[in-house]
């Protein structure tokens, strides 16, 4: 099929950039905090907004109910029948904005603020994932506006439960496999190493999120009457949490490393040559020194090694003053980041076995899984990856780096396992964007280049068909 030129699309994106910022701000004003029932209606409103926008730019779009938040599904009706088929994925849910006091402006009142890279938009969801999904949505809109049609087949899937482990996604993919199957999935929900350092993510860590609840006595006890003679669940909890790591920063669960892949020496060498600003990365968190598993660099620890973090812990008396009490209960939330070829189900079983071996029978305990996602690597030799490399090089004027990502996007493994599709992870976030934190932001220069990269990707993919 005939190629269509990308230059007029770039020109249209440039002319329409201010309007695209307005649209992003309109989406950011909808407080789609997916995990909080109080925001359920708002979250649905974000989905409806996307359906309207997709219809406006010429897609057949609909809201598809699930037992949780609806899926936004769209197809391009004018698609050339034999062209490559892209499935764009994004998520419209955002993390809770708390603590509100730490925001310079209300999280759902987006502001354009000047920074060292020029203007940026500050709001919850700016980079994760509203600003990023809008990069491809704007590129699709500009193609259709300029040429009247796209040179590739396009389908869209945007979910509203990514931040809470995508529970309804797998059943939805299975039930709609024929409709959603494409040649490759395109996702912008990751980062790059700097404004002028485009990147393609080729490795994502998986996740296993757990809550451990331990009970000692049936009710809180006077610690003078009982102390020294009865089990204290906080002691047991802190002991097992401390036992998760050994003195070398490794995770102590028997069998935990059995399936951990060995990073190829070529990739280690590539990563060591990346322009990673470790000092700046740590400084963004107010730190000056990193910690972790011995024998690995910071990037290797973040991208290619598993880890375990306690995310929250509670129990006993934490109010004003003192209270001499032995608490009945203690609990913690903790999570593992997993790497290929670890399996969250298997790590769950290892954790249970480990806890059983450590916690004596005087305590009652339960371990509740709160979310899982499998780790994944993306093949770096596919023609689609080649097209993505060229697209980023065109948009940024610089060859992209192949990087890893310490975060998790469970859909990527699900799409691979269930639909047999690989993903292209073209992310435009920066290390200091504060996703999930106060004053989350997205640089407008990243927004603009992201839009251009997606416009170029469409042209490069069309060209693959020859
Ligand atoms: N977009 C992030 C994943 C990510 C994190 C990319 C950091 C780049 C850097 C995604 O929305 C996310 O937050 N995922 C969760 C998954 C969890 C809720 C199952 C994560 O990684 O904690
Ligand atoms: Mn995200
Ligand atoms: Mn997120």
In terms of residue numbers, what domain contains 340?
207-260+306-373
Nearest ligand for residue 411 CA: 1
Ligand 1 atom at minimum distance from 372 CA: 19
The pLDDT, as a whole number, for residue 387 is 98
Q: Is 208 in the pocket of ligand 1 (CB under 6 A)?
A: no
Is the Cβ–Cβ distance between 443 and 1 less than 8 Å?
no
Alpha-carbon 188 to chain mean position: 10
pLDDT digits 0-9 by tens, 402-426 = 999 999 999 999 999 999 999 999 9
Query: Of 195, 243, 221, whose CA–CA distance to 358 is shortest?
Result: 243
279 C-alpha to center of ligand 1: Å?
A: 23
The arithmetic mean of pLDDT across residues 300-315, rounded, is: 98
> CA-CA distance, 315 to 318, in Å (whole number)?
8
Instruction: Examine residue 240 and state whether it is found in any structural domain, yes or no.
Output: yes
Task: Specify the number of domains making up the chain.
Answer: 2
Q: Is 375 in the pocket of ligand 1 (CB under 6 A)?
A: no
Instruction: Examine residue 281 and state whether it is found in any structural domain, yes or no.
Output: no
The pLDDT, as a whole number, for residue 284 is 85
pLDDT of 439 > 80? The answer is yes
Instruction: Check the CA dihedral 115-121-122-125 and report its sign.
Output: negative
To the nearest 10 degrees (0 to 180), the angle between helices 444-464 and 17-28 is 110
Instruction: Examine residue 292 and state whether it is found in any structural domain, yes or no.
Output: no
Q: Is 409 in the pocket of ligand 1 (CB under 6 A)?
A: yes
The arithmetic mean of pLDDT across residues 7-28, rounded, is: 98
Q: pTM for this one?
A: 0.95
Average pLDDT, the chain: 96
CATH of the domain at 240: 3.30.70.360
One domain, residues 128 and 150 = yes
One domain, residues 120 and 155 = yes
Is the Cβ–Cβ distance between 418 and 361 less than 8 Å?
no
**Atom 14 of ligand 1, nearest CA residue:** 408
One domain, residues 319 and 353 = yes
Q: Is 189 in the pocket of ligand 1 (CB under 6 A)?
A: yes
**Atom 15 of ligand 1, nearest CA residue:** 408
Q: Is 119 in the pocket of ligand 1 (CB under 6 A)?
A: no
The pLDDT, as a whole number, for residue 79 is 85
Q: Is 190 in the pocket of ligand 1 (CB under 6 A)?
A: yes
From 373, 395, 416, give the residue that closes a domain. Answer: 373
The arithmetic mean of pLDDT across residues 196-219, rounded, is: 98
The pLDDT, as a whole number, for residue 81 is 87
| 332 three-state secondary structure | strand
From 358, 373, 388, give the residue that closes a domain. Answer: 373
Distances (CA, A) of 324 to 144, 220, 222, 319: 69, 10, 6, 12
Query: Of 94, 90, 99, whose CA–CA distance to 72 is shortest?
Result: 90
Q: What are phi and psi of 211, to 5 degrees?
A: -125, 130
Q: Is 93 in the pocket of ligand 1 (CB under 6 A)?
A: no
One domain, residues 223 and 251 = yes
One domain, residues 76 and 150 = yes
187 C-alpha to center of ligand 3: Å?
A: 13
One domain, residues 162 and 105 = yes
One domain, residues 114 and 237 = no
Q: Which residue has the tokens 């926008």?
A: 53
Banded pLDDT at 165 (limits 50, 70, 90): confident
Instruction: Examine residue 289 and state whether it is found in any structural domain, yes or no.
Output: no
Instruction: Examine residue 283 and state whether it is found in any structural domain, yes or no.
Output: no
Q: Is 407 in the pocket of ligand 1 (CB under 6 A)?
A: yes
410 C-alpha to center of ligand 1: Å?
A: 9
What's the distance, Cα to Cα, between the start and end of the chain in Å? Answer: 7
Which of 91, 162, 208 is the best mutation target for the ligand 1 pocket, counting ligand atoms within 8 Å of the beta carbon and taking the most? 162
Q: How many CB atoms lie within 10 A of CB 32?
A: 28
CATH of the domain at 401: 3.40.630.10
Nearest ligand for residue 129 CA: 2
pLDDT of 228 > 50? The answer is yes
165 C-alpha to center of ligand 3: Å?
A: 10
Query: Of 206, 259, 128, whose CA–CA distance to 372 is shortest?
Result: 206
One domain, residues 110 and 235 = no
242 burial (CB, 10 Å; 0-12 / 13-18 / 19+) is exposed
87 C-alpha to center of ligand 1: Å?
A: 20
Instruction: Examine residue 131 and state whether it is found in any structural domain, yes or no.
Output: yes
Q: Is 403 in the pocket of ligand 1 (CB under 6 A)?
A: no
The pLDDT, as a whole number, for residue 1 is 47
Is the Cβ–Cβ distance between 410 and 165 less than 8 Å?
yes
Instruction: Examine residue 445 and state whether it is found in any structural domain, yes or no.
Output: yes
Instruction: Examine residue 284 and state whether it is found in any structural domain, yes or no.
Output: no
Banded pLDDT at 70 (limits 50, 70, 90): very high
The pLDDT, as a whole number, for residue 4 is 86
From 342, 373, 404, give the residue that closes a domain. Answer: 373
One domain, residues 178 and 31 = yes
Nearest ligand for residue 407 CA: 1
Ligand 1 atom at minimum distance from 207 CA: 19
Q: Is 94 in the pocket of ligand 1 (CB under 6 A)?
A: no
pLDDT of 460 > 50? The answer is yes
One domain, residues 227 and 321 = yes
95 C-alpha to center of ligand 3: Å?
A: 7
The pLDDT, as a whole number, for residue 209 is 97
Beta bridge partners of 337: 207, 307
- Six-digit token pair at 217? 């006595």
One domain, residues 255 and 122 = no
One domain, residues 194 and 217 = no
């Amino acid at each position: 099929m005939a190629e269509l030129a990308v230059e007029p699309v770039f020109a249209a994106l440039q002319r329409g950039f201010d309007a695209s910022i307005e649209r992003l701000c309109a989406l950011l004003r909808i407080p789609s905090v997916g995990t909080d029932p109080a925001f359920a209606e708002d979250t649905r409103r974000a989905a409806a907004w996307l359906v309207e926008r997709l219809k406006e730019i010429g897609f057949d779009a609909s809201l598809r109910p699930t037992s949780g938040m609806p899926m936004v599904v769209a197809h391009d009706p004018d698609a050339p029948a034999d062209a490559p088929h892209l499935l764009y994925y994004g998520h419209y849910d955002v993390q809770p904005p708390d603590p509100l006091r730490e925001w310079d402006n209300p999280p759902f009142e987006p502001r354009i603020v000047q920074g060292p890279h020029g203007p940026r938009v500050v709001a919850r969801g700016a980079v994760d994932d509203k600003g990023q999904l809008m990069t491809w949505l704007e590129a699709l809109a500009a193609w259709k506006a300029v040429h009247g049609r796209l040179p590739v087949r396009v389908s869209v899937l945007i979910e509203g439960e990514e931040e809470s482990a995508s529970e309804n996604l797998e059943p939805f993919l299975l039930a709609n496999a024929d409709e959603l199957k494409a040649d490759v999935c395109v996702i912008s929900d990751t980062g790059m190493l700097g404004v002028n350092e485009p990147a393609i993510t080729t490795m994502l860590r998986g996740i296993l999120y757990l809550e451990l609840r331990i009970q000692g006595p049936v009710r809180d006890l006077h610690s003078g009457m009982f102390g020294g003679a009865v089990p204290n669940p906080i002691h047991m909890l802190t002991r097992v949490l401390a036992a998760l790591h050994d003195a070398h920063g490794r995770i102590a669960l028997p069998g935990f490393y059995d399936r951990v892949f060995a990073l190829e020496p070529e990739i280690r060498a590539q990563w060591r040559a990346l322009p990673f600003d470790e000092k700046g990365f740590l400084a963004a968190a107010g730190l000056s020194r990193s910690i972790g598993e011995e024998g690995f660099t910071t990037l290797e620890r973040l991208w290619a090694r598993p880890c375990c973090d306690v995310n929250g812990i509670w129990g006993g008396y934490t109010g004003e003053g003192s209270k001499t009490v032995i608490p009945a209960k203690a609990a913690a939330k903790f999570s593992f980041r997993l790497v290929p070829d670890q399996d969250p189900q298997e790590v769950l079983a290892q954790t249970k076995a480990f806890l059983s071996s450590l916690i004596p029978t005087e305590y009652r305990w339960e371990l509740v899984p709160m979310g899982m996602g499998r780790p994944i690597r993306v093949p770096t030799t596919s023609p689609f990856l080649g097209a993505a490399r060229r697209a980023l090089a065109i948009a940024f004027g610089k060859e992209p780096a192949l990087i890893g990502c310490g975060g998790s996007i469970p859909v990527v493994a699900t799409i691979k396992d269930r639909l047999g599709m690989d993903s292209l992870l073209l992310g435009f976030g920066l290390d200091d964007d504060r996703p999930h934190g106060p004053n989350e932001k997205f640089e407008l220069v990243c927004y603009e280049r992201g839009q251009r990269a997606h416009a170029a990707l469409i042209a490069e993919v069309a060209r693959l068909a020859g």
